Structure 1
Amino acid sequence: MTSRSTTSHARRVEETELVVVPARYVGRWIAAVVVIGILLMLVYGMFANERFHWDVVGEYLFAKPVLAGLGRTLMLTAISMLIGIGLGIVVAVCRLSANPILSTAAWAYSWFFRGTPLMVQLLFWFFLAALIPNIGIGIPFGPELLSIDTNSVISPFTAALLGLSLNEGAYMGEIVRSGIRAIPPGQTEAAKAIGMSRLQTMRRVILPQAMRVIIPPTGNETIGMLKYTSLVIVIGYSELLTSVSIIYSRNFQTIPLLIVAAIWYLAVTAVLSVCQFFIERHFERGFTPVKGRKPAAPAGAASVPGAVAGASPSIEPELEPSK
C-alpha cells in the first residue's frame, strides 16, 4: 500500500506541476523603443538642420586660436587642481586637529570659499588693486622692505589661478576629511602602537587607505574644474571659451563656434573619465575581489605542515592515547 500511494502521489505532483515562463518585461522594451526613437530624432535634426553649419565647425575645430585656448584651459585646470588638492589635504588635517585654533581657522576657510560664488571670487582677485594698490613685504607692524604694484602682479592668469585653486581647496578639504574619517580608528591606534608619529601615520597608513574614498569625488571635481575655467571669461583670460567667443564676435557664427567648444570639452571629459576609471581600479586593489581569481593564501601558509596554496590549512585535533 505504501509504494502504491507514493506512486500515485508522484503522478499527481507531475500532473499539477506549473510551467515556468520567463518574464517578458514589456515596459522595458517600450521604454527602450521610445529612447531610441528620441535619439534618432535628435541626430536627424542635428544633421538635417543647415543652421548648425557643420562646415564651419570642421573649419574651426583645429584652428590655432581654438587649440591655444584649449591648451590654456588644460594648464589652468591642472595647476588649479594640484594647488586645490594640496590645500585640501592641509585643510582636512587642520579640521581634524585637536588644536582649536587650527580647526577653527580651517572651518572658517572652508565656510567662506564654499559660501561665496566662484565668479565673485574671480572678480575680487582681478580687482584686488582697487583694495590694495601696493603689496608690501616686510616686518609685521614694522618697516616695509619691498613694495610691488598690485596690477603688475595680479594678471588675468594669476587672478584665475587664485580664484579657482582657493575655491577648490575648500571643497577638496571636505572630500579628504570624509575619506580620512572613513578609516577605522584601529588603524591609527595600531600605527601609534608601533611607534609611528602623527605625520607618518597620516602619510603611510591613513591616506593610502582613504584614497579609494577620495578618488571618485576628486575625479568629479577635476571634470568640474575643467568646466569652471570657462568662468574666467569675465576677467578676460583667453581660455577655450574666450578664444571661441572672440572668433564668433568677428564672423557672427555663434552656434557653430559654441559647438566647437562643446566638442573639445566633451573630448577632454571623456579622457578624464577613463583616467579616473583606471585610478579607481588601482586603489580598489585589496578591497574588491577580482572575477575569476581565487584569494591568495595567507602569508606564512606554506610553512604550515599540510597547507595547500590557495587554501587555509586544516588543523585536526590529536586523539588522546587510551589509558
Structure 2
Amino acid sequence: MQVLRVYQLYVENLRKEKPSLVEQGVPVVLLCVLGRMLLICGGFYDKRSTIVEPLVERCLMFDDCLHLRQEALARQLFALKQSLVTGKPIFRRPSVILSTQSYFSSRSSVDGDTANHRPAGVPRVYTTYTTEDNTERSLTLLRPLKRGNPQPLLFIATEDPLDSSTIKLVKLVVREYGVGVHRLLAERQFAPMLYGRKSLEGAPTSYIMEFLSPPTYTTCRWVTLFEFFKSKDLAARYSRAIRNALDRILTVMEEANMVHGDLRPNSVMLEVGSDKIPAVCSGEEQAVNLTVVDFDWAEARASRL
C-alpha cells in the first residue's frame, strides 16, 4: 500500500512539471519488494483516482528444491524487460484484478475530489468479514492505525460509520497467523477479542479484533510496555506487578503447550488510567492488567519441532 502513496506523489509532481503526461494517464510499472516477496504492479491515473493493480501473481524470491520459484521469478523479470523494450503489455493478468474499488486503490487528493475520501493506502476490498459463528457482517476500513507513523497492515475499521461502538482493529496477514493462541489468551482476557476474518484470493487475510484505544485525559486505555518503560520511575514502581501478570500469561500458554514466538514490550499492552498510571489488581499476588497482541509467530509448541 505504500507504493500507492509513492505513485500518488509522483502524479502530483507531474501535474506541475509535465501536465501533458498526466492527461495520458501516467502509465508506469512499479516493482514492490517486501522482504523476499516481489510484486510487479501497474499504475495509472484516470483523472479521478490513482490506481495500482498487480500485473502478475506475487513471487517469493528464494530457492526451492524443484526450482519452481526461480523459474517463476525468471519469467516475470524477462516479461518485464520485454514489456519495457517493446512497449507492449505481455503480462498475463492474475485471476483477481485489484482495481479502483479494491486492494491498492484509493481516492486521492490529486483530483481534488473529497467525496468518500479515505487516506492513501486504505484497502477497499475488505467490505465484509465472517464471524466465529459464520455470520457475514459489513465492514468499512477508515484509516491506518497510526496516522503519523503508519503501520501498513493495521487499520481502524467499523461495522457502522454512524456508531462509534462498532470500532474495531483490522490486521492484514500475508502468512500464517496464530489464531489458536490468540483465542486461548482472549478467552482468559489476556488478548483482544477476535471477532472474525476475511480471506480473499490474491490479497492478505484480514483478522478483525477488539480495538485497544490509547488513553485520554478522561478515560482508561492501553499503552505498550515499551512506551510505559520510558518512564524509569513508573517501570521500577510497577515492575513486580507487571512480572506477576506476565507469569500468569506464560502459565496459560505453557499449560496449553503453546508459544507466542515474539513476546516483547511492543507486543504487550498495559491498561492505564487517564493519569497514565496502571491499576493494580488486589490479591495474594498483585498484578496489572496486560493484553498480548501480534500473534504472527504464535503456534502450538509441538509444531516447531
Work out which structure has the larger RCO, using CA pairs closer than 8 Å and 6 or more positions apart in sequence.
1
Q: Which has the higher helix share?
A: 1
TM-score class, shorter: under 0.3
When the two structures are superposed, what TM-score results if normalisation uses the length of structure 2? 0.22
Larger proportion of strand:
2
**Structure number with larger C-alpha Rg:** 1
